[in-house]
Amino acid sequence: MMTHEAHQPAQRVMVLYTGGTIGMQASANGLAPASGFEAR
């Protein structure tokens, strides 16, 4: 049986956003750059 007392280091993920469709938002003229990507 495993206990939860063993200390495990926090796991982290680094996201390097260099642009592209995921940071775009639909507009009347098609996709346009959008701010606030990190909040979404």
Alpha-carbon span 24 to 37, nearest angstrom: 9
Tokens at residue 12, please?
Answer: 């982290």
Sort 37 into a burial class: Cβ within 10 Å, 0-12 / 13-18 / 19+: middle
Is residue 21 annotated as a catalytic residue, yes or no? yes
Catalytic: which of 3, 21, 29, 35?
21
Active-site residues: which are they? 21
